C-alpha cells in the first residue's frame, strides 16, 4: 500500500508504453490529489492516442523505487521515487486508469 504523501517526483519522468522503449508522449503535470497519483499528459503517437480515445487503452501504471517502507501485515510504502509512468491495455488495479478526458483532449490536438 502506498501511503498519501509518499510520492517523490523527479523532473523528466517519461510517459512510456507498457514500461518499455522510448517515451510515447510527455507528462505535463504529475502530483498527488485526494484519490492518489494524478498524471496529465499528451500522447505523441497518433495510433496510441486514437486507442486511448476509443477506450482500447485505459490502463495506467508507474515504476518506482522504494525509499522508505514499514513492515507489517501489509507492507506500507512511505516514500517512493517515481521513475516512469506507463500506458497499457488494462490496469491490474481498476483504480489506476487512463481517464479519457485527461489524455484524449491533448491527444486530439496531436493527432
Task: Write the DSSP string, 36-98.
Answer: EEEEEEEE--HHHHHHHHHTS--EEEEEEEEEEEE-SSS-EEEEEEEEEEEEES--SSTTSB-
- The reply to whether the predicted model has a pTM over 0.85 is no
Q: How far apart are CA 23 and CA 45, in angstroms?
A: 9
pLDDT at 50: 85
pLDDT at 98: 53
SS3 of residue 3 by DSSP: coil
pLDDT in tens, 2-57: 888 888 887 789 999 999 989 999 888 888 888 788 888 889 888 888 888 888 88
Beta-bridge partner residues of 33: 36
pLDDT at 92: 55
pLDDT in tens, 55-94: 888 888 888 999 999 999 999 999 999 999 998 876 555 5
The CA–CA distances, whole Å, from 22 to 53, 64, 71, 80, 83 equal 21, 17, 35, 23, 14
Amino acid at each position: 500500500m502506498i501511503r498519501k504523501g509518499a510520492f517523490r517526483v523527479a523532473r523528466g519522468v517519461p510517459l512510456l508504453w507498457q514500461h518499455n522503449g522510448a517515451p510515447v508522449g510527455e507528462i505535463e503535470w504529475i502530483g498527488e490529489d485526494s484519490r492518489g497519483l494524478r498524471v496529465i499528459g499528451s500522447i505523441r503517437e497518433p495510433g496510441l492516442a486514437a486507442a486511448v480515445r476509443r477506450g482500447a487503452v485505459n490502463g495506467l501504471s508507474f515504476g518506482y523505487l522504494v525509499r522508505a517502507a514499514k513492515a507489517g501485515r501489509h507492507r506500507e510504502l512511505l516514500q517512493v521515487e517515481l521513475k516512469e509512468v506507463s500506458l497499457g491495455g488494462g490496469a491490474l488495479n481498476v483504480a489506476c486508469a487512463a481517464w479519457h478526458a485527461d489524455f484524449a483532449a491533448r491527444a486530439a490536438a496531436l493527432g
